[in-house]
Amino acid sequence: MDSLDAQLTTKLSALTEQGLHRSLRVMESARGPRITCAGRELINFSSNDYLGLAYHPAVAQAMNEATVRWGVGSTASRLICGTTSEHAALEEELAAAKGTEAALVFSTGVAAATGTIPALVGKGDVIIMDKLAHACLIDGARASEATLRIFSHNDLEKLESHLGWAREKHPDAKVMIITESVFSMDGDLAPLRELVELKERFGAILFLDEAHAVGVRGQGVQGLAGELGLNGRIEIQMGTLGKALGVSGGYIAGSRMLIDFLINRARSFIFSTAPPPAVAAACRAALRIVQSPEGGSLKVRLWENIQLLASSLEIPIAPSAIIPLILGSEERAMAGATLLSDAGFFVPAIRYPTVPRQTARLRITLSAAHEPDQIRELAAALAVSSAD
Ligand SMILES: *Cc1c(COP(=O)(O)O)cnc(C)c1O
């Protein structure tokens, strides 16, 4: 038997041959859309900081002040002594902002998903999930040991047939539908109204991941659920505090009963050191901004930027801040990213296993912080690189 390193070398070479090897890019500075990477300044079109809050002075100040007051670490898990008044206030304010009875904050969105799904469904239950659901939703579903059925992306007919199957074969099972409202690699929307209607018709429950919708769609942090007036009809609303909110963490919003249950049963919540109090304080400041008139104007700027990219590229306007340009092969996507980087733009090539094979793409994300000229210049560079 080869040593571990020898085995790993073989596996990594296979990835390299397939154009799938990945490595870390180190940012030497990053402030808004301008980043420095490998000594070069680039305009960043890959961040999830949709509203530019990651470096907002009021958010930074809240974090600094809370660090002075509380110190840096939370010192224990939430159920021991890691829950501070900052965490409690953040959860109350999040629930109020989402229009739910309660909310629970986890250290990441990944932890929110992988802790919550197996807490709520298990062996003998059924999960029906969209094919393009995020890795953490897949991991949560697998860890639950529930029977897993996948429906093709946004395919309501297939979903309905799985629901019918579940009701017939597992009449007493809990049935959970899992999907995203804005899909992370395609930027398209789930047909949420129809999905909620189907869910209700079959007596299932819905776990909705709004990671890329919050702060982009709907008022404040209402997401697509709030925009469509559906929050009262969705049992489990999940989101992250690390994207449009610009900080770090994940949350579940729902009924008081749901949250009390998760406090007792979500393993990633129970067995993990609480997020630092200063992170909770920064999230509170970000939440206040998103809900304020300033947040409203940032959202207007974001949507102006989304519109500007669409008109510059002569493509239909995207329903979110994620614009994928699907190129097919890994090599084409990598070559496109390199050409753009040479022109001064950072747009990542997204490859298998993040997206299915032969759907490798350039994934552009826009922010309220982009200047219109930066977007026009990106569009011009894309026109040149696709002409090559
Ligand atoms: C980013 C993301 C998550 C994970 O959230 P983190 O806070 O980054 O752990 C979950 N679901 C989707 C769809 C995401 O894009």
Burial class (CB in 10 A: 0-12, 13-18, 19+), 300: exposed
In the reported structure, the alpha carbon of residue 130 is separated from the centroid of ligand 1 by a whole-number distance in angstroms of 16
| 344, pLDDT greater than 80 | yes
Q: What is the largest CA-CA distance in the chain?
A: 64
In the reported structure, the alpha carbon of residue 105 is separated from the centroid of ligand 1 by a whole-number distance in angstroms of 14
Active site residue 243: yes
Characterise 124 by phi-psi region: left (phi > 0), alpha (psi -120 to 50), beta (else).
Answer: left
pLDDT in tens, 43-99: 999 999 999 999 999 999 999 999 999 999 999 999 999 999 999 999 999 999 999
In eight-state DSSP terms, residue 273 is B
Ligand 1 atom with the shortest distance to the CA of 134: 13
Is residue 326 within 8 Å of residue 361, measured between CB atoms? yes
The reported pLDDT for the residue numbered 48 is 97
- Determine the CATH number of domain 57-290: 3.40.640.10
354 vs 345, which has greater pLDDT?
A: 345
The domain ranges of the chain are 25-50+321-387, 57-290
**pTM across the whole model:** 0.96
For the Cβ of 150 lying below 6 angstroms from any atom of ligand 1, the answer is: no
Average pLDDT over residues 359-363: 95
Average pLDDT over residues 302-324: 97
For the Cβ of 125 lying below 6 angstroms from any atom of ligand 1, the answer is: no
Ligand 1 atom with the shortest distance to the CA of 111: 9
Active site residue 299: no
Count H helices and E strands in the chain, helices first. 14, 14
Residue 313 pLDDT grade (very low, low, confident, very high; cuts 50, 70, 90): very high
Q: Which of 199, 212, 299, 370 is catalytic?
A: 212
The reported pLDDT for the residue numbered 19 is 79
**In this structure, which long-range contacts are made by residues 356-360, counting pairs with CB atoms below 8 Å and at least 24 apart in sequence?**
358/328, 358/329, 359/326, 359/328, 360/326, 360/327, 360/328, 360/329, 360/330, 360/332, 360/333, 360/334
Task: Identify the three-state secondary structure at position 31.
Answer: strand
Instruction: Please report, as a single letter, which amino acid is at residue 275.
Output: P
Active site residue 212: yes
For the Cβ of 138 lying below 6 angstroms from any atom of ligand 1, the answer is: no
Return the residue whose CA atom lies nearest to atom 3 of ligand 1.
109
CATH superfamily for 25-50+321-387 is Aspartate Aminotransferase, domain 1 (3.90.1150.10)
Summary mean pLDDT of the chain? 96
pLDDT in tens, 189-231: 999 999 999 999 999 999 999 999 999 999 999 999 999 999 9
The reported pLDDT for the residue numbered 388 is 54
